[in-house]
Amino acid sequence: MRLLLILLLTAGCLGFQGERPAAQVVGDGDTVSLNYIARVADSGLLFDTSYEALAKDPAVPKVAWFKVGEGYGPLTVQVGSGSDPPLERGILGLEVGEERNITVAPDEAFGLRNESLVRTLPRISAVPRVEEMDLATFRTLFGLEPANGTARLYEWETRVAVEGGRVLLEHLPPDRYERAVPNGVIRIRTNETHLLLEFVPVVASPVRTRGGIYITITEYNETSMVVDYNHPLAGKALVYTVRVEGSEKESKKG
C-alpha cells in the first residue's frame, strides 16, 4: 500500500513538471520591458540607468556630467523596430529574468569623434553702445515689434527709438555686471564706444545647452578658448547590462 502511494505521488510530481509553461524567450517583433545599467567600457563609469536607487547612490562611480533624472523604471523596446539596433540584437534569445552584458561599438553608440567640431572662439565680444538697424533685423534678432521707450532686450536696459523704418538702440548697461552660467562667468566692461562682453570659462565637464548640444571648454587664454562640440561619449565603446523583465509576442498584441 505504501509503495503504491509513493508511486502515485511520484507520478503526480513528474506530471506536474511536464506541464510547466515554456520559458518566454525574446524574439524578433517582441515588445520587451527591460532594466539596464549603462557604463563607459574603458572606465566603467555609469552614465545612464533605469534603476533610481543606483542613479542616486553617491558611492557609484559616474561620469562627471551625470545628472539624476526623473521617471526611472523599465525601458520598453520593440525588437526589430530599428530604434536601437545594438540593444535589439543583444536581447534576442534572452529569457524573462535573464541578464546580459551588451557591448556597443562607438560607431553604433554616439559616433566617432569629429575634430572639425573642436573650434577656437573669442572670449571677448565688442557690442557698440549705439546700434542702428532696420525693422526686419530687429524683429529677427529679438522676436518682437520695436517701440519707443526702454526695453530689456539683453540683460540690461536698452533705449529704443523708432523712426522712418529704422531702429536706434542705445545700450544702458550697469557700471559693473557679472553673471554665473553653467560653464563660466559673463562679465561686462565698457568704454566710450563699446560694451565688452567677456566670458571667463571653466575648463570642466560638458554642459548641455537648451538645444540638447553638449559643449566642453577644454582650454583658454587671454583672448580665446577651445570649445569641443562633440558628444562626451563620442568615440567611446559602451557596455549595457540589461535584464529582461517581460516580453510580449507580436501575435498577442491588440
Residue 110 backbone zone (phi > 0: left; psi -120 to 50: alpha; other: beta): alpha
Q: Note the pLDDT tens digit of each residue in 49-69.
A: 999 999 999 999 999 889 999
> Contact, 37 vs 240, CB < 8 A?
yes
How confident is the model over 107-112, as a mean pLDDT? 96
Q: Hey, what amino acid is at 98?
A: E
Q: Note the pLDDT tens digit of each residue in 156-187.
A: 899 999 998 999 999 998 878 888 888 899 99
* Distance (Å, whole) CA 49 – CA 53: 10
Give pLDDT, residue 16. Answer: 45
Nearest CA among 34, 91, 40 for reference residue 48: 40
Domains observed in the chain: 23-112+234-252 (3.10.50.40), 117-228 (no CATH)
247-253, Cβ contacts within 8 angstroms, sequence gap of 24 or more: 247/24, 247/25, 247/26, 247/30, 247/31, 247/32, 247/33, 247/96, 248/30, 248/31, 248/32, 249/27, 249/29, 249/30, 250/29, 250/30, 250/31, 253/31
**What single DSSP character describes residue 20?**
P
**Of how many residues is the chain composed?**
254
Reported pTM? 0.71
> Contact, 4 vs 12, CB < 8 A?
no
Cell numbers describing residue 15? 506530471
Proportion of the chain above pLDDT 90, given as a percent: 69
